[in-house]
Amino acid sequence: MAAKKSADQWFAEYGESHQHHANELIHWFCVPLIFFSVLGFIWSVPVPDLLAEHLPGFNWALVAIFAATVFYVSLSPRLSAGLLCFMAVCYSAIVALELFDVFPVWKISAVVFVLAWIGQFIGHRIEGKKPSFFNGVVFLLIGPAWLMSFVYRKLGARY
């Protein structure tokens, strides 16, 4: 069995294809938007009536947030706190979209997802390297953590 990678090892691997300033800047916008949109897609998966009846307020997005948090805690308990705050903001925005009910959450998520990925591919075209998630889907979780690590460093906090 392979040894578990540390946060720094994941970030170093992720950072290899994120060296160009323009690509990094694009990622500051697109990575959070992609995470938000994926959470919006998960939110939109119907909850069976039996489950909704016994667990009022339950949503699949909460399961996804829990699973992501478990992964992030395994990387860094400190970093996971910031990421949990980020996920709470995403979740709150989705709840607000649901309450305003202008468009279905899944439609908004689809538009955001497509536009953010166009941005990502433009950034990686500039970089000249393929997106990290081509090396493994886990990099979709590493991206937000990588960005949060910069926030922690800027604040002088350890992760």
Report pLDDT for 3: 56
Higher pLDDT, 75 or 136: 75
Phi/psi at 134 (nearest 5 deg)?
-65, -20
User: pLDDT digit string (tens) for 12-43?
Assistant: 999 999 999 999 999 999 999 999 999 999 99
User: pLDDT digit string (tens) for 100-123?
Assistant: 999 999 999 999 999 999 999 999
Distance CA 143, CA 138 (A): 9
- Mean local confidence (pLDDT), 136-150: 94
Residue the block writes with tokens 């979740």: 91
Which one-letter amino acid corresponds to residue 68? A
With bands split at pLDDT 50, 70 and 90, how would you rate the model's confidence at 1? very low
| DSSP state string for 54-77 | HSTT--HHHHHHHHHHHHHHHH-H
